[in-house]
A and B are shown apart, each in its own frame.
Chain A
Amino acid sequence: MAFWNDRHTRGVLYQVAALGGVILVGGILVSNTMDNLARQNIATGFRFLTREAGFGISEHLVDYSPADTYLRALYVGLLNTLRIALSGIALATLLGIVVGFARLSSNWLVARLASVYVEVTRNVPVLLHLFFWYAVVTQAFPSPGAALEPITGFFLSNRGVAISWPGLGVPTLDGFNFRGGAVLSPELSALLIGIAIYTSGFIAETVRGGILSVPKGQLEAARSMGLTGWQVLRFVTMPLALRAIVPGTTNQYLNLAKNSALAVAIGYPDFVSVANTTINQTGQAIEGVAMIMAAYLTLSLLISAFMNWYNRHVALIGERS
C-alpha cells in the first residue's frame, strides 16, 4: 500500500494542509494590512491608548472629561455596556417569565394576549424596536414639566425616565430636567425598553417550553399527594422546568448582551460606540475591532460561566457532575 493511502498519514497531511492554508491566508492579509497602514502612516500597536481622547461622552458612571486618555474613554464605554447588559437581562427576564406563564394560562383571553405579544416582539428586527422606542421617548413623551407619572415616583418625559430610588431620593423638577432619584437618559431608556421587550418574547417561549417539558405524571403525583397549586409549582414544576429553561435562557442573555452593541445606532455611548469614535479619530481600525471582539467574547464567557454554574445548581442531584 502506498503511504498516501494510509489513513493516519493522510490525516496528518490534511491537517498540515489546513493549517498551512490558514497561515497562508492570514499571512497575506497581515502583509497587505502592514503595507496599507505604512502607506497611511498609522503605527500599529496599543500606544494610542495613553493619548488624550479629546471627545466628550454624554453618560459616564465614573469621572470622565475629554482631557482623559482613550483608555479611560473605553473604560467608561465598557461600564455603560455592562450597565445596559445587566439591567436589560433583569428586565427581560422579569417580562419573559410573566409572559411565558401567561401563555400557558388556562384563561383563554390571557393566553391569546400573551401569544400576540410574543409573535409581535419576536418577528420585528431589534433595531426597529430601538428606533421606535427612541422616537417615542424623544417625540411622544411630554416635556419634564408635564411628565407622566403612571406609578408614584416613576416619571416619563422626553428627557428620559426618572425613578425614585432608595438612597438616591425622589426625582424633583429643577429647571428643565429632573434631579435626584435614578435618571435614565432618553437613549438609555429607549435602549433598555427596546432590547428588554425584544428579548422577553424569546425568554417567554423558553419558559413556556420548559414548563411544558415537565412530565404530566409528576404533576398528577404531586396533586394526589395533596400539594396545593402553589406547592406543586414551587416544589415540582419549577425545579424540573428550570433544567430546560436555564440553557435556553443563557442563549437569550448572550444575544441580549450582543444586541446591546446596537446602542451605537441611537447614540448611547456604549463600548462599541466609544471604540468606533476612537477608530475614526486614530485610524487604529485593527486594534479597535480587536478590542470590541475581545470585550464581547469576555462578556459572553462570563455570562456563560455564571449561567453554567447556576445550571449545575438547579440540575438534579443525580445529574450533577
Chain B
Amino acid sequence: MTARFLKEGTILYGLFGTWYNALLTLLSLWIIVEWVPPLLDWGIFSAKTAPDPAACRATFGACWGFIHEKYRLILFGGYPFEHQWRPLLTSIIFVVLLVTSCNKRFWQPSLAAAWVLALITMFVLMHGGVLGLPVVESSRWGGLPLTLILAVFGLGIAFPFAVVLALGRRSKLPVIRAICITFIEVVRGVPLISLLFMASVMVPLFLPEGITVDKLIRAEVGIIIFAAAYSAESVRGGLQALNRGQEEAADALGLSYFDKTWRIVLPQALRIAIPSITNNFISTFKDTSLVVVIGMFDLLGALKASLNDAQWRTFYVEGYLFVAAIYFVFCIGMSKYAQYLENDIGRTTAKPS
C-alpha cells in the first residue's frame, strides 16, 4: 500500500495511513490553523481587560472589561452590593460540600447531618434577619447562588419523593402503581417550562385566599416535580439492576416490607443508581436556567440583565462565554465524576453468579 513505513495502529497511521484519513487530517489542520490563531488573538492578545467600552470598541479583540465591570452583577444578581460576601460565602459552602460529598470516605450519616446544617446556615446567610444581618428578600437573590439553590434544593427535596415513586411504580398493588406511573409519565412527557408556568400561574390559584407564596418557592416547586419524576426513573433503574436473590432472601428471613426495603433493597439499589442520579443532577443544574423565562435572575438571567446596559450590549459573546464556562466547569466535573463512579461500582458490586 501507499504508506508502508507507517505501522498500523499508531497515531501517525491513523492520521495519514489511508488517503481519506490524510484528507481529513489536512482538513482538520486547515480548520485549526484558520480558527485557532485568530481566536487566540481575539481572546488574549488583542483583548482589553479595562472596563472601558470606548477602548473596547476601538479594538477588534475581546472585551473582558465587560466581565470586569459586571462580574458581581452576573455572579450575585441584584443582591445588595455591600452584602455580597453573603452569597459568595453561600456559593463556597455549596461547592465545598459538593466536592466533599464526592468522596466515598465521607458517605456516612454525618454527611447528611452536615448538609442539613449547611443548608440552614446558607438560608440564614442569604435571607438574614438574625445575628444583625439585614433581611434580603428572595426576590433580590440572583446569580450563581440562586442557580445552586434551585438545583441542590430541587434535587434534594425531590429525592425522597423519587424513591417513593420508584417503589410505587414497582409495587404489586395496581392502584398505587397506576398513580405513580401516571405522575412519572405525565411529568416526563411535558416540557419543564410548562411546569414552571404552572407553578407560577396555577399555584396561586390552588391556595386558599390570602395565602401567597414567594416566587422562588413557586419555581422550586416546578423544579422539584420535574426532578422527582426523572430521579424516580434513575432509582427504578437501580431497583431493577438489583439481584432478585437479595429480595427473595429478605422475604425468606421473614422481614416486613419496610425492613426489607429500608435495610436490604434501597442501600444496594441507590448505590447502583448513583451515577444515573449524578447525571440527573447535571441536567437539573442546566435546566434551572429556564427560570429566566418566568422572570428570575439566576446566572443566565443576571447575565441577560447586565447585557441590557446599552454601553455593553455588543459584548454579548464575552458574556455568554463567561457564563458558559461556569456551567461547563460544574457540569464536566460532575459528569467525569459520574463516569468514575460507574467504573468503580462496576468493579466493586458483586455480580450474580
Contacts and interface: CB of A to CB of B under 8 A. Distances in A.
Contacts of A289: 194, 197-198, 201-202
Given A15-B176, A108-B15, A286 B191 contact: no
A36 B173 contact: no
Contacts of A286: 202, 205
Nearest to B330: A123
Given A128-B320, A258-B190, A296-B189, A110 B289 contact: no
A264 interface: yes
Contacts of A48: none
A272 B191 contact: yes
Contacts of A18: 175-176, 179
Contact of A19 (B24, B175, B201, B209): B175
A310 interface: no
B335 interface: yes
B191 A107 contact: no
B160 interface: no
Contacts of B327: 123-125, 128
B297 to A, nearest CB: 14
Contact of B24 (A35, A105, A254): A105
A29 interface: yes
Interface in A9-68: 11, 14-16, 18-19, 22, 29, 32-33, 35-37, 39
Nearest to A37: B205
B332 interface: yes
A292 B194 contact: yes
Interface string A104-127: 011111100100000110111111
Contacts of A293: 186, 189-190, 194
A18 B181 CA distance: 14
A110 B24 contact: yes
Interface residues of B, number: 54
Contact of A127 (B14, B206, B289): B289
A contact residues, range: 35 or more
Interface in B150-207: 172-176, 179, 186, 189-194, 197-198, 201-202, 204-207
Given A109-B25, A292-B197, A261 B173 contact: no
B316 interface: yes
Interface string A213-249: 0000000000000000000000000000000000000
A107 B15 contact: yes
Contacts of B15: 107-109
Interface stretch (A87-95, A131-139, A179-187): A131-139
Contacts of B176: 14-15, 18
Nearest to B26: A109
A173 interface: no
Interface in B37-61: none
Contact of A125 (B194, B207, B209, B289): B289
Contact of B205 (A36, A122, A139, A264): A36
B300 A125 contact: yes
B246 interface: no
Nearest to B183: A22
A123 B179 contact: no
B173 A15 contact: yes
B318 to A, nearest CB: 11
B209 A127 contact: no
20 contacts: A18-B176, A29-B206, A32-B205, A32-B206, A105-B21, A105-B24, A122-B331, A123-B328, A125-B327, A127-B300, A128-B324, A132-B320, A254-B189, A259-B191, A261-B194, A285-B205, A286-B202, A288-B201, A292-B191, A293-B194
Interface of A: 11, 14-16, 18-19, 22, 29, 32-33, 35-37, 39, 105-110, 113, 119-120, 122-128, 131-132, 135-136, 139, 254, 258-259, 261-262, 264-265, 272, 276, 279, 285-286, 288-289, 292-293, 296-297, 300-301
Q: Which 10 A-B residue pairs are closest in the complex by CB-CB distance?
A: A123-B331, A261-B191, A15-B175, A258-B191, A125-B286, A125-B289, A106-B14, A285-B201, A300-B189, A135-B316
